[in-house]
Amino acid sequence: MRKIVANSEKILDKIIYFQQIIANVFLLLIMTIITFDVLGRNLFNQPLKGTYEMTELGTALIVFFALAMTHRKGDHITIDFLVDRFSEKGKRALNVLVEIVIAIVLLFMARQMFGNGIRMMERNSTTTDLALPVHPFLFIIAFTLVVFMLTAILKAITYFRLAVDKE
């Protein structure tokens, strides 16, 4: 079982790392688009068409691509003044519970996002200025939520293993 979990973590780490690279690329793209929009607007009186849409979609993708990495590294903001009073096994047991709740919520979110993507695809919904189809973005977000969910499940397994160790 430990080998399966370790191999799963390695694969998931590669996916998360790739997602982080994509998030960084989108950040650079947004910075470039905004720079050219401001330059075009102020120097040539010609703003870049669709800047708002590209910034909006790019920002959403950055957030969702970075969620799994943030969770994997434990970089969320935490307030743990009450949890600090628990024993180590108590903390680990609570972490298992929290990770399971996170995974369940993410499963529902991913299903909802995927369903929204299907509906947008059936309706041929597009963005206003650039007429970009919306559904691919929703499918990508659903995928990133599944990766985040798998991250939470693997962390729950790790915390569970630590909580039941005989130390």
Per the listing, tokens 């985040």 go with 148
Tokens (6 digits) for 130 = 């650039």
Q: In this structure, what DSSP letter does residue 85 have?
A: G
Q: 3 pLDDT exceeds 60? A: yes
Q: How confident is the model at residue 167 (pLDDT cuts 50, 70, 90)?
A: low
> Does pTM top 0.85 for this prediction?
yes
Half-sphere exposure of 14 (CA within 13 A, CB side): 5
Q: What is the pLDDT of residue 87?
A: 83
Any idea of the CA torsion for 12, 15, 21, 25, to the nearest 10 degrees?
-140
Residues with Cβ within 8 Å of residue 114, at least 6 apart in sequence: 138, 139, 142
pLDDT in tens, 28-69: 999 999 999 999 999 999 998 999 999 999 999 999 999 999
Phi, psi of 126 (to 5 degrees): -130, 165
Mean pLDDT, the chain, integer: 91
Q: What is the pLDDT of residue 166?
A: 59
Mean pLDDT of 18-35: 96
Minimum mean pLDDT range among 2-16, 66-80, 132-146, 151-165: 66-80
pLDDT in tens, 149-158: 999 999 999 8
**Rounded distance, CA 16 to CA 65, Å?**
8
**Rounded distance, CA 26 to CA 158, Å?**
32
**Rounded distance, CA 162 to CA 92, Å?**
7
User: Do 128 and 72 touch, CB atoms closer than 8 A?
Assistant: no
